[in-house]
Amino acid sequence: YPQSETDIQPRFPADFRWGAATAAYQVEGAARTDGRGPSIWDTFSHTPGRVLNGDTGDEAIDHYHRYRDDVALMASLGLTAYRFSVSWPRVQPTGRGPANAAGLDFYRRLVDELLAHDIEPWLTLYHWDLPQELEDAGGWPARDTAARFAEYASLVHDALGDRVKRWTTLNEPWCSAFLGYTAGVHAPGRRERAAGVVAAHHLLLGHGLATQAIRSRDADAQVGITLNLYAMATATDSDADRDAARRIDGLQNRFFLDPVLCGRYPGDVVADLAGVTDFGHVRDGDLSTISTPLSMLGVNYYTRYVVTAAESHANVDGHGGGGDGSAGSPFPGSEHVAFTHRGLPVTHMDWEIDAAGLGEVLRRVATDYPSVPLYVTENGAAFPDEPGPDGAVDDPSRVEYLDGHLRACADAIADGVPLGGYFAWSLFDNFEWSWGYDRRFGLVYVDYATQRRTPKTSANWYADTIRRWGNGGR
Chain residues 408-467 in contact with ligand GBH, contact rule CB under 6 A: 425, 432-434, 441
Taking the complex as a whole, the smallest distance from the CB of residue 351 to ligand GBH amounts, in Å, to 8
Helices (H), 286-374: 286-290, 355-368
Q: At closest approach, how far in Å is the CB of 232 from ligand GBH? A: 15
Q: Which lies closer to ligand GBH via its Cβ, residue 331 or residue 441?
A: 441
How many residues bind ligand GBH (CB under 6 A)? The answer is: 19
* Calpha distance 80→429 (Å, rounded): 20
With CB under 6 A as the contact rule, the residue among 12, 17, 18, 23 that binds ligand GBH is 23
Among 59, 62, 243, 317, binds ligand GBH (CB under 6 A): 317
Of 172, 378, 400, 432, the active-site residue reads 378
Binder among 300, 329, 334, 397 for ligand GBH (CB under 6 A): 300
Query: What does the alpha-carbon distance between residue 402 and residue 153 come to, in Å, rounded to a whole number?
Result: 33
Q: Which is nearer to ligand GBH, 10 or 19 (CB)?
A: 19
CB distance 69 to 134 below 8 Å? no
By the 10 Å C-beta count (0-12 exposed, 13-18 middle, 19+ buried), 404 is classed as middle
Q: Which stretch binds ligand GBH (CB under 6 A): 52-60, 171-179, 332-340, 385-393?
A: 171-179
Question: DSSP label at 219?
Answer: T
Min dist CB 1 to ligand GBH, Å, is 23
Pick between residue 154 and residue 300 the one whose CB is nearest to ligand GBH: 300
> Which residue, 262, 255, 123, is CA-closest to 199?
255
Nearest residue to 309 via CA among 338, 331, 340, 330: 338
| CB nearer ligand GBH, residue 208 or residue 320 | 320
Stretch that binds ligand GBH, among 239-247, 304-312, 315-323, 335-343 (CB under 6 A): 315-323
Please choose, out of 107-115, 271-279, 313-321, 383-391, the segment that lies near ligand GBH by the rule CB under 6 A: 313-321
Q: Site for ligand GBH (CB under 6 A): which residue of 56, 132, 154, 228?
A: 228
**CA 47 – CA 54 distance, rounded (Å):** 8
Q: What is the DSSP letter of 294?
A: P
168 interacts with ligand GBH by CB under 6 A = no
Residue 308's DSSP bridge partners are: 338
417 phi, psi to nearest 5 deg: -70, 130
State yes or no: cis peptide before 39, omega within 30 of 0: no
Helix axes 396-414, 457-469, angle to 10 degrees: 30
Closest CB to ligand GBH among residues 291, 303: 303
Residue 263: DSSP 8-state: S
How many other C-beta atoms can be found within 10 angstroms of the C-beta atom of residue 407? 18
Taking CA atoms, 125 is separated from 19, 214, 224, 236, in Å, by: 18, 11, 11, 40
Asked whether position 171 contacts ligand GBH by CB under 6 A, the answer is yes
Residue 378 among the catalytic residues: yes
**Considering only residues 215, 319, 363, 364, which one is a binding residue for ligand GBH as defined by CB under 6 A?**
319
Q: Quick check: 272 binds ligand GBH (CB under 6 A)? A: no
Contact flags string 63-102 toward ligand GBH, x per CB under 6 A? ----------------------------------------
Q: d(Cα 412, Cα 423) in Å, to the nearest integer?
A: 16
Q: What phi and psi, each to the nearest 5 degrees, are found at residue 31?
A: -70, -20
User: Per DSSP, what are the bridge partners of residue 455?
Assistant: 444
Q: Which is nearer to ligand GBH, 112 or 350 (CB)?
A: 350
Residue 172 within binding range of ligand GBH, rule CB under 6 A = yes
Residue 390 burial (10 A CB sphere; 0-12, 13-18, 19+): exposed
The verdict on 124 binding ligand GBH (CB under 6 A) reads no
What x-and-dash track marks residues 175-194 binding ligand GBH by CB under 6 A?
x---x-----x---------
Q: Report, as residue numbers or ranges, the catalytic residues.
A: 378
Binding residues for ligand GBH (CB under 6 A) = 23, 26, 171-172, 175, 179, 185, 228, 300, 302, 317, 319-320, 378, 425, 432-434, 441
